[in-house]
Amino acid sequence: MRKNKNSKRKENIDPSKILIQSQSATINDSPDDILCHLSTISPSVESIDDFSDEILCHILSFLPTKEAFRTTVLSKRWLFLCYSLPVIYYDDNVKSHFPQFMEAIMFSPHSQHKTLKSLILKFHSCNKYLDDTAGCFPFDKWMEAAKSRNLEELDISYLLGIPLVPTIFCRKTLVVLNLTGISVATMLHCSVDLPLLEFLSLSEVHFKHMEDLMKLLSGCPKLLDLRTRHVTATTGITTGGYFKPLSKLFYADICLFEVPVRAVSNVEHLVLRKLWMWESFLNEEINSYYKSYPVFENLVILSLLWVDPGFIRDWEYEVVNMFQNCPKLEEFNMSKWWNLNLPNSKDKEDWKYPDHVPECVSSHLKICKINDYQAVEADFRFVTYILQNANHLQSMEINYSKNRNSMENHQFIEDLSSCPRISPVCEFSINPR
């Protein structure tokens, strides 16, 4: 039997090539834009309707869900496709009937048994949904529906006024979890089971107890990438003590006193932030935290961000002490911010060169970068300490701010430029910002 023209056209389409090619599309591309893009590999395609449902769903997944649903006016086929999307991305900043919309998507019979790769929900004012009845915002039911569809990526932002039920941390298929502006209900009687989770980001997340955060981390055996920012708890900070390292962790970007450093001691790349909020903690809590510093056997890149609005503390000593625990360190980046013009600000002028040189400095350090360098004696001595002891240093970069620095004094620049360097290949640069 002779095949019709449409059948022949579909035979010429290689779905695998189309799926790969469409990866270069962006969330702002319209279906017609993507069709033009794909026509380069399927010249015989005359209409987007010539593609299979799988390919069309993949194309629509690049759009915000509300934009994808605009295609439902085309035909019943497109309505079915929109309810079967593998990615749900919704921002409630525009539509007030967000709960009803989510209900229709999550519990549609068309979506049953369809894998949900990503669920991205951007909330702005959840309180407007809580004024009527408690049942008008069944967030927990949506999460259970997503779980039944083998959810792989979950991104929730600013779920204000609604504590996140910790059962969300029992998702055997979840690979990526990103929480921002979230308050987590108590996890006292809840377990954590995230056996496939590789990426965890917590920003402005509040736990009832800091032990809840420890429980969350302990339930992520395959975690590769951990990022925390402004994670708080009613019980204060994460103090020292035993915590089994995350054995698979490769990259961590954390704030001090939020995550025990022992948990991230296996990383190769560490970003460590010290924010001003730490000054409200008790000295014994801080001392206990620092005593738990482990040896970072695999660490190659270390970036520190110190923010202190009043006092310049002994950051140079802290850095040198950290170097002792990073035997393989090759790259060090330091960014610090404080205001020397504040009434209670003070510079530590009496910093003395340590009587020892850490192994990483003498044998491995290749790159050193200092941001917000201050024209003060302590900063100068630290830089010269590195230049005079880093045998394999390839690059020393100094960046300073013109707005809050006295680096306009050319003598400081000349003194830095003339510093002796033990490494014959070291390139030295001083840059205003």
Tell me the per-residue pLDDT of 86-138, one tens digit each, with 9 for 90 and over: 888 887 765 556 777 788 788 887 777 788 899 998 876 555 554 444 445 67
Identify whether 191 is part of a domain: no
204-230 per-position pLDDT tens digit: 999 988 889 989 999 999 999 999 998
Q: What is the pLDDT of residue 300?
A: 98
91-105 per-position pLDDT tens digit: 776 555 677 778 878
Contact 115, 86 (CB under 8 A): yes
Of 64, 81, 96, the position where a domain reaches its end is 64
pLDDT band at 70 (very low <50, low <70, confident <90, very high): confident
Of 64, 90, 118, the position where a domain reaches its end is 64
Say how far apart CA 342 and CA 404 lie, in whole Å: 11
Q: What is the pLDDT of residue 96?
A: 55
329-333 average pLDDT score: 97
Say how far apart CA 216 and CA 126 lie, in whole Å: 25
pLDDT band at 286 (very low <50, low <70, confident <90, very high): low
Say how far apart CA 10 and CA 15 lie, in whole Å: 10
User: Domain range spanning residue 37?
Assistant: 1-64
Q: What is the pLDDT of residue 238?
A: 58
Of 14, 32, 64, the position where a domain reaches its end is 64
Q: What is the pLDDT of residue 103?
A: 81
Residues shown for the chain: 433
Q: How far is CA 310 from the centre of its chain?
A: 28
Q: Is the pLDDT of residue 422 over 90?
A: yes
Q: Which two tokens stand for residue 259?
A: 């995550």
Q: Which residues have C-beta within 8 Å of that of residue 31, sequence separation ≥ 6?
A: 48, 59, 60, 63, 71
Identify whether 250 is part of a domain: no
Identify whether 332 is part of a domain: yes
Give CB contacts under 8 A, 24+ apart, made by 137-141: 137/99, 137/162, 138/99, 138/103, 140/165, 140/167, 141/106
Q: How far is CA 399 from the centre of its chain?
A: 25
Identify whether 50 is part of a domain: yes
- Number of independent structural domains in the chain: 2
Mean pLDDT of the chain, nearest integer: 77
32-46 per-position pLDDT tens digit: 555 565 555 555 666
Identify whether 108 is part of a domain: no
| Torsions phi, psi for 389 (to 5 deg) | -125, -10
pLDDT band at 352 (very low <50, low <70, confident <90, very high): low
Identify whether 407 is part of a domain: yes
Quote the pTM value: 0.80
Q: What is the pLDDT of residue 6?
A: 42
Identify whether 100 is part of a domain: no
Identify whether 397 is part of a domain: yes
